[in-house]
Amino acid sequence: MSEKSLAVQRAEERSALKPVKFESLLDRMDDIFDRINKRAFEIFEGNGRIFGRELDDWLKAEREFLHPVHIQLAESGESLDVQAELPGFDEKDLEINVEPRRVTISGKRETSKKEKKGKTVYSETGCDQILRVVDLPEEVETDKVTATLKNGVLALTMPKVAKSRSVRIHAKAA
């Protein structure tokens, strides 16, 4: 699949991000799936290997790894507009892939907190990951998509593909 270009800019500064490579997105999805799968098995073992709760174990593991992404999709006459809530994520943490009928938003951020009290050291690290795929109701022109990230909200404006119009032609008798 060819690489789609998309310039993502912060509202304050107009800096462009590099395009997302499709292979890296698949690698990230595989990595997330493997981590969730491993954690779900750990939960299964921790609960005494009780069968019949696989879905609950999977969903609990998924919640531990994936940050929820709330999406709003609006349609105007000539474009589709997506707003995604991504609090705490910066443009360097995100990968955005736009296809004619689909938008994929993925990202990863790592946080660490250290507190030192006397000889005791307290350390905590965390990792939030997001992965959201939105199927679009109409095709969009991927080369004309614009995106901004401001105050934790990603805004995508995607112009729709112009629909061809049929024209009725009347033939004249010769």
Residue 83 structure tokens: 């707003």
The yes-or-no verdict on residue 144 having pLDDT over 70 is: yes
* 12 band by pLDDT with thresholds 50, 70 and 90: very low
Burial class of 69 by CB neighbour count within 10 A (0 to 12, 13 to 18, 19+): middle
| Mean pLDDT value of segment 158-162 | 91
Pick the CATH number of 7-159 from 3.20.20.70, 2.60.40.790, 1.10.3720.10, 3.40.50.720: 2.60.40.790
| Mean pLDDT value of segment 96-102 | 91
H or E stretch covering 25 = helix 22-46
| Mean pLDDT value of segment 57-74 | 82
Query: Quick one: pLDDT at residue 15?
Result: 36
In degrees, rounded to 5, the angle at the alpha carbon of residue 22 between the alpha carbons of residues 21 and 25 is: 95
What is the per-residue pLDDT across 28-56, written as a single tens digit (0 to 9) for each? 778 888 888 888 888 888 888 888 888 88
Burial class of 7 by CB neighbour count within 10 A (0 to 12, 13 to 18, 19+): middle
Closest by CA to 98, choosing from 149, 157, 44, is: 157
| Mean pLDDT value of segment 100-125 | 71
The yes-or-no verdict on residue 13 having pLDDT over 50 is: no
What is the percentage of the chain residues whose pLDDT exceeds 90?
A: 23
Query: Quick one: pLDDT at residue 3?
Result: 38
